[in-house]
A and B are shown apart, each in its own frame.
Chain A
Amino acid sequence: MRHSTIPRRSRALTGTALAAALLISACGGEDGNGDEGGNGGEEGGGAGDILIGTTDVKVTIDPAGSYDNASFLIMNQVYPFLLNSQPGESDVEPDIAETAEFTGETEFTVTLKEGLTFANGNELTASDVKFSFDRQTDIMHENGPAYLLSNLESVETPDDHTVVFHLAEPDQTFPQVLSSPAAPIVDEEVFPADELLADDDIVAEQAFAGPYVIDDYSFNDIVTLSPNEAYEGLLGAPENDSVTIEYYSESSNLRMAVEQGDVDIAYRTLLATDVDDLREVDGLNVIDGPGGEIRYMVFNLAVMPYGTQTEEADAEAALAVRQAVADILDREEISEQAFLSSYTPLYSFVPEGLTGANQALMELYGDGSGGPDADRAAERLEEAGVETPVELHIEYGTDRYGEASADEYAMIRDQLNETGLFDVTIQSTEWTQFTEERTQDIYPAHQLGWFPDYSDADNYLSPFFHSENFLANHFSDEEIDAALIDQVTEEDPEEREAKIEELQYMVAEHLPTLPMQQGAQTAVTADYIDGVVLDGSFKFRFGSITAE
């Protein structure tokens, strides 16, 4: 790449006077690429002002009105949680809570630390906590995460420091829910109870109690954060002086920005080709972390070949068809060509990096080590009396899961048809229509992706395989229903892990969905940046970042 040879100037900005520092216009080299010949001046002085570039578009920093990566990225820095995880960990522990534990099967009690305040000086009490959760469910906003709290019946505040959550059903994942996008604690004196608050007002009121406060906010242009001295939670005081997030509209620009030193860190989302190129560039580090994102294929058990609503309904034949697909697909080949290895083969329902993950499908299907085995598929189909080639239609979404979706499904079609056992047709549909139609028994098989609500294996199991799953693909199995409830109520962590592993084998026999690929978290940083941690919590915490 042409720009890789451009000398990198030190990008660290000076002191806390960011506005002054910005006047320097310090960036990039003399490539004429939109750089305003800065007036030199105070460069490379103080450390600890971090510039992060991202292409993610954020929705709003009101927790009740957004549920997307970019918005949650900010929320994670500026709002406190009752429970949170430290960098490098995915298990949660008390954040602004003193203690947090189950005090009954469906009762979870949290005591808050003493003397908590928001950055604006308002006290943070149990009443704010109750307000934050009630507000979520009252507003139930179009883009909000309110449904994550559907198991929460009521919140009680016996005193100023104690909050008691009453659940409808026993649920060991509830502590994780308290660190999810549904759970930031907001200031009841600032936020209205029944509607969203505009971002500018939130910033003006300084209704923050997380590790950072927002100093400067320009919608989807720039957000500047500085440490919040009032924060006394788990994550501790930030190690840098400020963090500025810049929003790029295209990944190619973000790539150029990090290459030329316009930003210190590029986080979400660079193209796989670009990341590949940047790995070779001196002065840059590529940081990989486990990704919670998975790509999978859903079979509709009613309308797939031999499905329950077809003329030749035959559960065994339908199962054989699903298993044959699992035998034939070569995830490695797809990962390399369609995703340039930015996604990696996924052989189970729970992705790597989460407690309880395994590779159930690798043993059960294909050549036993992840590769394809067409002969095995042919045998399987013949045994079940399936006529070949099997006609199968697969639908995918055009825009939601990245433009490589088209390549991924073209390869799936190609791999299946190449064996002569299948006659696959594929088609794509614009996202909103697609997701409306996916529950209407129109698609025999279709694409979907999943980004976890919180970091718990159950989040990859119950929503998908319980009889009342959101997929509406007519999968229902009493044994699996029971096993799902069994693991989610199991209090002993080790026992629970074993049950989760067992459960994946059970589901792998039925294959109501077929796991395909797992995403990775990637950040590209300048080599003078330290402390970027991408872990299984799927939260990027800015506090640990430092610049030399």
Chain B
Amino acid sequence: MRYIFVRFLLIIPTVFILITMVFVFMRMIGDPITAAQGGRLSAAQLDDMREAAGYNRPILVQYVEYLGQILRGDFGTTISDNRPVTEVLVTYGTATVELVFYGLIVAFLIGIPLGMIAAAKRDRWPDAGLRLFAILAYATPVFFLGLLLKLVFSVWLGILPTSGRASSRTRIELSRMEDATGIYLIDAIRAGDMGHVADVLQHAVLPATALGLLTAGVFLRLVRTNMIGTLAMDYIDTARSRGVSEYRLVRKHAYRPALIPIVTVIGMQTAMLLGGAVLTETTFEWRGLGFQLTHYLSARDFIAVQGIVALLAVIVAVTNFLVDIVVALIDPRVRY
């Protein structure tokens, strides 16, 4: 219990450090006024506006003010498009969650069975081929894979849409729904129109594949490594000596224990995918947090960037916490 408590308290400095880093970094790289109007105002005019907006005050004063706001639960209103940050987080966060969810499904469907095959056929050609596949999945930048998929499936074959979360028609109708969840698949199903569901799924195929393959490679290697480890354990040997087939060994005996580390890695991967969704979202114009983050960053929208990073920091920190707890429960040797 004490470990869990201490570990929980550690979330606070983690989030705090990240928020502080972002705050300081953002103040180092220019302000939203210069970003928006630098191309047509003189330096003096810009300075007047900075003064009016309060950006000329000492950074420490601004920092304390910002922390105060956050503690009161007020994340502010974005500078570049005048929207409450909480609304931004919800709107784009759901889009990112949806993408990550699709990606994880693809990763599971591909990574885990293939990893099991690789472990069972260890050191033979299927294993070599699958490991090469895993390494290729890692070596291929998601944006390059995305471009290739687009080229083949959208431009040459013309069977899948190039980008976006849904065709505009679907998007419009879903945005008109009362109490929309923002997760298009759910909304489309609730709207009861199979056309919309199909549309949403069609749009999800390429981004989910690009993102999922990347993660599938990670899962594949993880399953393979752990299963090889498990297969070498005593009780498996015992089973083997009893004449249980290798296939059955993998399916029945080694499967469960080998999955435990995967559960923890899924946590890690989720956090990582959330944090690094920028490229997938940019490639496929999936309007999620990552896509918006680059946009707000180039507009130097302090408030928006800080809000998004704070959310990511909390998600990542909490996920790490959960992962650590799970690991601690599995492995009693781990203690602070």
Contacts and interface: CB of A to CB of B under 8 A. Distances in A.
In their complex, do chains A and B touch, with some C-beta pair under 8 Å? yes
B33 interface: yes
A253 B43 contact: no
A232 interface: no
Nearest to A2: B158
B79 interface: yes
A286 interface: no
B169 A262 contact: yes
Given A36-B193, A59-B80, A53 B39 contact: no
B163 A25 contact: no
Contacts of A219: 81, 83, 91
Contacts of B244: none
B32 A222 contact: no
B83 A143 contact: no
Nearest to A27: B169
A101 interface: no
A528 interface: no
A263 B171 CA distance: 14
B168 interface: yes
Interface in B113-165: 154-156, 158-164
Contacts of A27: 167, 169
A251 to B, nearest CB: 10
Contacts, number: 177
Nearest to A28: B167
A463 interface: yes
A436 B34 CA distance: 7
Contacts of B173: 22-23, 25
Given A142-B49, A432-B300, A450 B40 contact: yes
B43 A256 contact: no
B42 A35 contact: no
A19 B176 contact: yes
A435 B38 contact: yes
Interface in B184-213: 193, 195-196, 198-199, 202-203
B79 A142 contact: yes
A239 B332 CA distance: 76
Given A253-B285, A435-B34, A36 B80 contact: no
B289 interface: no
A33 B158 contact: yes
A36 B195 contact: yes
Interface of A: 2-3, 19, 22-23, 25-28, 31-39, 53, 57-60, 62, 65-67, 140, 142-143, 147, 150, 196, 198-199, 216, 218-222, 244, 246, 248-250, 252-253, 256-257, 262-263, 399-400, 430-436, 438-439, 448-450, 453, 463, 468-470, 472
Interface of B: 29-43, 45, 49, 52-53, 77, 79-84, 91, 154-156, 158-164, 166-173, 175-176, 193, 195-196, 198-199, 202-203, 285, 287, 291, 295, 298, 300
22 contacts: A2-B158, A22-B169, A25-B193, A26-B169, A32-B158, A32-B160, A39-B195, A57-B81, A67-B37, A142-B33, A142-B80, A143-B80, A147-B37, A198-B82, A220-B81, A222-B175, A246-B168, A250-B164, A431-B298, A453-B40, A470-B40, A470-B45
